[in-house]
Copies of this chain bind each other. A is one copy, B any other.
Amino acid sequence: MPANGPVARREARRRIPEAALSRLPVYLQILTDLKGRSVERLSSDELAEHAGVNAAKVRKDLSYLGSYGTRGVGYDVSYLVYQISRELGLHQDWNVVIVGAGNLGRALANFHGFSSRGFPVAGIVDVDRDKVGRRIAGVEVRHVDDLRDIVRSCAVSIGVIATPAEAAQGAADQLVGAGVRSILNFASTVLTIPDAISVRSVDLGAELQILGYYEQQSRGGAEAAPGVRTSARPRTSPAP
């Protein structure tokens, strides 16, 4: 993860290191939040606190975008938001299509986080004809046979796999055949896809296994910090 599990393929002459790239969305989220609360400037130290990393890393990460800070002063929040989202390609919408209208697919379709971040759900498909025609979050469920049409007509570039594990490889094949360039996989399966497509797997079972492992470690290891120390880091969440 993190990054973690199978990570996106394809290299391109990588401008920004993978590890730094994976932190940009975190910074963006913090900055967007601060911007909404009318914070105009912040230092690498402050951003580091919020993100839970150290200041040197923040400065290094941001330096890959260019020299957008002001020495002796800090960074302009709005400008950074602009530059990070530009780098991440968020000045255009990336339409997504969800494959699978089961529990997970429905939850994802209703999850406002996608569309609010510039990834509108342009379509939902399922193999089950009983589900076809229903509306989820304002989008009509269509049959998986229509995938190619949907991808073409709505200029979909990202496919989200929310099928049972057994159906995931088939879904991936159909997404690739339909022309998507990136796949976000929620099924607990390792997918085989062409190298020209980037994949990212979110394996909830694996996340839990790793947490179980950490807990196990912390039980045995009876050195250091036996009690619950409260971090000095300030809150990120807004006061509602």
Contacts and interface: CB of A to CB of B under 8 A. Distances in A.
Given A1-B2, A88-B212, A190 B30 contact: yes
A184 B211 contact: yes
Given A1-B1, A51-B190, A210 B22 contact: yes
Interface stretch (A61-69, A123-131, A192-200): A192-200
A2 B111 CA distance: 21
A153 interface: no
A54 interface: no
B26 A189 contact: no
Interface in A131-190: 157-158, 165-166, 168-170, 176, 181-184, 188-190
A119 interface: yes
Interface stretch (A37-45, A73-81, A226-234): A226-234
Given A111-B103, A212-B88, A12 B184 contact: no
Contact of A208 (B3, B158, B236): B158
B3 A215 contact: no
A51 B165 CA distance: 15
Per assembly, the copies of the chain total 2
A8 B231 contact: no
A209 B200 CA distance: 11
Given A52-B6, A181-B218, A25 B166 contact: no
Given A10-B217, A211-B182, A169 B235 contact: yes
Interface string A82-121: 0000011110001010000001101110110110111100
A158 B113 CA distance: 24
Contacts of A217: 10, 12, 14
22 contacts: A3-B5, A3-B7, A8-B211, A13-B221, A24-B209, A28-B209, A29-B190, A29-B205, A90-B209, A94-B211, A107-B108, A119-B205, A119-B208, A119-B212, A157-B212, A165-B237, A166-B238, A170-B237, A193-B231, A195-B229, A196-B229, A198-B218
Interface of A: 1-8, 10, 12-14, 21-26, 28-30, 50-52, 87-90, 94, 96, 103-104, 106-108, 110-111, 113-114, 116-119, 157-158, 165-166, 168-170, 176, 181-184, 188-198, 200, 202-218, 220-221, 223, 225, 227-231, 233-238, 240
